[in-house]
Amino acid sequence: MSADLVRVRPGVYHDSVSLMRVSGALSALPGIEVAVVAMATELNLGLAAGLGFALPEAGQGDLLVALRGAGPDDLETARAELDRLLTDLTVRTVQGGGGERPARTVRSAALRGAGESGEGAATLALVSVPGPYAFAEAMDAIEAGLSVMIFSDNVPVEQEVLLKRRAAELGPLVMGPDCGTAVVCGAGLGFANVLRPGPVGVVAASGTGAQQVTCLLDLADVGVSHVLGVGGRDLSAEVAGLSTLRALAALDADPATELIVLVSKPPAPETGLAVRRAARALSTPVVTALLGSGGGSGCALTCDSGGGPGDLTHAAEAVLRALGVPVPVWPSWPAPVSPRAGPAGTLRGVYSGGTLCAEARTVAGTGEFTDFGDDVYTRGRAHPMIDPSLRLEALARVPAGDVALLDVVLGHAADPDPAAGLASGIASAVARGVPVVVALVGSRDDPQGLTAQAEALRAAGASVFVSNAHAAGYAAALLAGAR
C-alpha cells in the first residue's frame, strides 16, 4: 500500500525551474510514485489536492513537499535526497551572490556589480515565478531598464500586453511569457542547446521549433548570434506581434546577424501580415517558418524564402542555401525492423514538444498524437523533457502492431541522460512488436552528448533521426510497410 509524506517549509523560496528539477529527481527514485516540490500557491495546492494529498495550512511564501511512495523506507530515502538537493540550491544561491545579502527586488539586483559609470550592470532579467506574480517582477525589471525573459506561464494576456507596451516605450525587449528557450550573446536561458556563434539570428514564438532549426544549423556548422523567444501568444491578435517586431528590429541592427529566421506557431492573419511586411522592410534577409492551417486538424509549415511549403527541416535547409552552405545528409541511426504481419496499426506520437508534435502529425498524415508538455499533463509533475514517467506509461500502452514516435530534446535544463530513462521502455515496446522511432533534437556540444544519446537509444531498439520531419516520415513508412 502506498504511503504519503506531506510537509510545509515556511518561508523557503526557490524558483520554479529549480523546483521542477528537484521534483523530477525525486520522481526518478525507486519506489516514488509522485513527487510535488513547489511553492504553496493556490494553483499548486489545488494540484496536490487533486492528486489525493491531505494538505495542512500553507501560505504562498511557503514551500510545499508532497511525496507518495511504495512504503516508509522509500519516503525516508526521498526525504533525505530532498534535503540534499535543497541544500545544494541554497549553497549555489549564496555563492552566486558572492556571500552578499540577497537583493529584495529585481531593480536592486540590477544595480549590483555596476561601477560609477554603470558599466557592468545587468541588462537582462529572467523571471521564473508562479504566473500570478510574474507581472510585478517583470514590470520591475522593465522599469529598471532591463530586457526580461518570462519563463513563467499562466500570465493573463492583458498583463502580457501591458508589459510589452511599456517595454516598447522604454526600450527593453520582453521575451515571453511562457518563453522556454532563448540564447543571448551565447548564453542559453531556459531549455537551451549549446550552439556555436554564427551569423543567424532567430526570433521564435515556438521553443522546440527554434531548437530543431538551430540544432540542424549547428550540425551543418552554422552558428547563431541570438535566439530571441517571444512567447507563444505574441503573434495572436491580442498581442499583435509586439515583441516579434521589436526582436526583428534588434537583430536587423545587430552587426553579427547576417540572416534572420522567424519561427512561429499559427499567427493571427492581421498579425502575420504585419510581421511579414516588417520583415520585408529590413535590411537583413529573413526566412520565415510559420506553422499555419494545413487542412483538418493538422498544421503545415510555409517558408517565405527559399523553400516553399515544407517543415522545420526544410526551413533549416532554406537558411543554409541562403547562406551558400551545402545541405548535409542529416544523421540517422536506423534500427533493424522485423517484417510486419497483419493489418496496419496506428502511429502513436508520444511527444514533449508542442511544435514538434504538430509538425510530426502533419508530416505523417495519420495517427494519434499527444503533447505531454501541455499544461494539462504537467500539473503536479516536472516537464516531460525532465521527467519521462508519463511518456513511459503511454509507451507501455502502445499495442503490438502499432508504431511509436517520440521526441527527445537535449540541452541545458533537460534530462541529463534521457536515453537511460527511456531505454527500458523502448526495449519493452520493441520486444512486444512495436517499432519505436525517435526524433533526437540536440547539438554536437550539448552536455548529454548527441552521438552517445543516439547510440544508446539505437541500442535499446529505436530508429533515431536528428530531423523530426524525417523521423515522422520514417514512422509513417514503417506503418505502411514501406520500410
- Going by pLDDT thresholds of 50, 70 and 90, the confidence category of residue 116 is low
- Going by pLDDT thresholds of 50, 70 and 90, the confidence category of residue 27 is confident
The pLDDT assigned to 438 comes to: 98
Q: Are 244 and 391 in contact (CB under 8 A)?
A: no
- Going by pLDDT thresholds of 50, 70 and 90, the confidence category of residue 152 is confident
Residue 22, pLDDT > 70, answer yes
95 or 133: whose pLDDT is higher? 133
- Going by pLDDT thresholds of 50, 70 and 90, the confidence category of residue 204 is very high
Residue 295, pLDDT > 80, answer no
Q: Which helix (H) or strand (E) covers residue 445, if one does? A: none
Quote the cell numbers at residue 383. Answer: 516537464
- Going by pLDDT thresholds of 50, 70 and 90, the confidence category of residue 217 is very high
Residue 112, pLDDT > 80, answer no
- In the chain, where the domains are located: 3-96, 106-113+121-323, 332-480
Quote the cell numbers at residue 73. Answer: 523506507
The average pLDDT across 371-388 equals 80
% pLDDT > 90, the chain? 69
Per-chain mean pLDDT for the chain: 89
Q: Quick check: helix, strand or coil at residue 198?
A: strand
Residue 256, pLDDT > 70, answer yes
The pLDDT assigned to 193 comes to: 97
Q: What is the pTM of this model?
A: 0.83
The one-character DSSP state at 103 is P
Query: Angle, to 10 degrees, between the axis of helix 242-252 and the axis of helix 269-280?
Result: 10
Class of domain 332-480 (CATH, top level)? alpha beta
% pLDDT > 70, the chain? 90
Closest listed residue to residue 206, CA positions, set 50, 349, 312, 68:
312
Q: Which CATH architecture has domain 106-113+121-323?
A: 3-Layer(aba) Sandwich (3.40)
Between CA 393 and CA 51 the distance in angstroms is: 17
The average pLDDT across 369-392 equals 83
Q: Are 436 and 462 in contact (CB under 8 A)?
A: yes
The pLDDT assigned to 461 comes to: 97
User: pLDDT by residue (tens digit) across 445-461?
Assistant: 999 999 999 999 999 99
The pLDDT assigned to 50 comes to: 86
The average pLDDT across 62-66 equals 95
Weakest mean pLDDT among 61-65, 94-98, 345-349, 402-406:
94-98
The one-character DSSP state at 178 is S
The pLDDT assigned to 142 comes to: 96
Burial (0-12, 13-18, 19+ Cβ within 10 Å), 65: buried
- Going by pLDDT thresholds of 50, 70 and 90, the confidence category of residue 296 is very low
Tell me the pairing of strands 308-310 and 32-39.
Answer: unpaired
Q: Are 106 and 124 in contact (CB under 8 A)?
A: no
User: pLDDT by residue (tens digit) across 359-378?
Assistant: 999 999 999 999 998 877 77
Q: Is the N-terminal amide bond of 30 cis, ω within 30° of 0?
A: no
Q: Are 229 and 179 in contact (CB under 8 A)?
A: yes
The average pLDDT across 87-109 equals 70
Between CA 399 and CA 433 the distance in angstroms is: 8
The one-character DSSP state at 353 is -
Fold equal for 3-96 and 106-113+121-323: no
The average pLDDT across 36-41 equals 89
Residue 299, pLDDT > 80, answer no
The CATH T-level fold of domain 3-96 is Alpha-Beta Plaits (3.30.70)
Between CA 173 and CA 468 the distance in angstroms is: 30
